[in-house]
Structure 1
């Protein structure tokens, strides 16, 4: 792969108009710092609206460290392609698909990959779906960081969960709650990364468990303590099949739940959290790949591919 000269100028986009603005700022600042450490000239661009400002004429590649809408729904990718700028990550159509949990579920299921039983809801007065049983997970269709997500343990939880999710999106994904070991697996350039087991302090890996820690800190175990090497390999193969099925490129984080009876793909994330202690960088570090080198490899891939 041709490599971008380390004196080249690159732009890191961060912030954005979505509800994940602050999370994105953390990712963007970390990526910008890592690329500077790798020897690049870096323009850190903080976005406040859904518009892409003019970039320096010498910028040769762009790293979108944007989470949620505008950054992960194909919008900024289309804008960069219109300007003829190479960028890290999935193309516009795949980015749009990956942020849409309902469509992602459909594509995976149509291709024989395992997803939880579920449905899409658009109104708060929909009756509790008896066919799915209890408990359920309710989540906005196009939000990340588990924003707006709630667990439904009984009938009294149903309507409040829908109302909260509908504050964030017009489409709500409702799924059977699967109990098991939650793991995340990155796919980097068509190769599975190490498996990370996620052990939250409560029942679900929600926004608090990721960022706030009001109920205790989440453990991230690499290698996992609950899974055999054979199971880890099977999950890596499943994550790679997810990457190929969805048409991803460069990088995809695949979240999976596994128990004795079933293995369920939860979702794919095209621009996952990207601080030095985020999940993908954790897996890279466990394999001996430093954060600056990880970021450099992604920028190099964007340049090698070129615009569009």
Structure 2
């Protein structure tokens, strides 16, 4: 079935736009859609995106959406909202799912109802509220509504009240609210899921040995955007598939599918987990718009897991499109 596919994206023009995609990545995804026999109409998700989509209503069969949005706590929901307003089918999750997934505290409340373990945490909106924090140290402070490790630095791991108050005051100036969470020391894993009845792709483990001496074992901003970029061998940053025993693999897969279904995610996602010293897995966060950077020039976890499963970009795009077409009853 040949389709006309609107392809929505945010184009990276400056180095600081770390959640947006480069022209090369946009081109690779466009070619992948075309290799499936479809016509592609490029739609940059800028301030004129709604008007472009409105003009294309009735001319596109579906929108393939990877746009991160232009700002705000519901930014990843912007293009899906436009599509729903205009009655245009689209890939990936519904607006409410994207908005929920970007809010760490709300996400943890939902998955708690599904019996998924997560580190204890508190949402802090003002510095005065710091007096309410009764969690045991060490703790880690995170922006509550950011992705790509924005605002998560090594110094965000605090060992006492003095460090907590100092760091909290600084964080609240830039990010509000913030989440103060128990710091779980241990191994960290990423689980990628693909399709509406999700296939769990090979599990990836984050490595930390290349971090400077004294750094905490967290996949924070420094790791992702400073030290990983300096590696001459990307394999120093991860292991995929991760070295886990069968019981551990079964557990983390089952928990990941449980999160996927509890949040009503569609088409694909990436979920981060921490395994504590006792071997228990703790949910950290979910990405409902995982990056599709198959260029090989940057470390991108979802593509690494997909490749380990034997999938190239065209196959991944095909599965996402097919999943969305089935959901909108468009498969013939």
Quickly name the TM-score band, shorter chain normalised.
0.7 to 0.9
The correspondence for 1:106, drawn from 85, 109, 134, is 109
What are the equivalent positions in structure 2 for 1:1-308 lying under 5 Å apart? Answer: 4-5=1-2, 8-15=4-11, 21-26=17-22, 28-49=26-47, 52-55=50-53, 56-57=56-57, 58-67=59-68, 69=71, 73-127=76-130, 131-149=134-152, 150-189=156-195, 190-200=198-208, 201-202=210-211, 203-213=217-227, 217=231, 219-225=237-243, 227-261=244-278, 262-276=280-294, 277=296, 278-306=300-328
User: Which consecutive residues of structure 2, in runs of 5 or more, have no partner in the other structure?
Assistant: 212-216
- Could you list the runs of 5+ residues in structure 1 that have no partner in the other structure? none
- Alignment RMSD (CA, Å): 2.9
Looking at both structures, which has the greater relative contact order when contacts are Cα pairs under 8 Å and sequence separation is at least 6? 1
1:126 alignment partner, SS class: helix
* Per-residue deviation, 1:184: 0.7
Displacement of 1:160: 4.3
Normalised by the length of structure 2, the TM-score is: 0.80
TM-score (norm 1): 0.86
Contact 1:85 1:307 in 2 (8 A): no
> In the alignment, is the contact (CA less than 8 A) between 1:8 and 1:60 conserved in 2?
yes
Q: Which has the higher helix share?
A: 2
Aligned residues: 302
- Distance of 2:329 and 2:49 partners within structure 1: 19
The answer to which of 181-190 and 44-53 deviates more is 44-53
In structure 2, do the counterparts of structure 1 residues 109 and 82 end up closer, same or farther at CA, with 3 Å as the change threshold? same
> In structure 2, the residue corresponding to 1:45 is in which secondary structure?
strand
* Closer, same or farther: CA 300–164 of 1 in aligned 2, 3 Å: farther
Judged with a 3 Å threshold, the aligned counterparts in structure 2 of structure 1 residues 230 and 304 are, in CA distance, closer, same or farther, namely: same
Deviation at 1:167, TM superposition (A): 4.4
Q: Distance in 2 between matches of 1:194 and 1:102?
A: 27
**C-alpha distance in 2 between matches for 1:113 and 1:20:** 34
Q: Distance in 2 between matches of 1:20 and 1:76?
A: 22
Distance verdict in 2 for CA 1:14–1:215, change over 3 Å: closer
User: Is residue 124–residue 178 contact of structure 2 (8 Å, CA) maintained in 1?
Assistant: yes
- Mark the CA change 1:214 to 1:112 in structure 2 (over 3 Å): closer, same or farther: closer
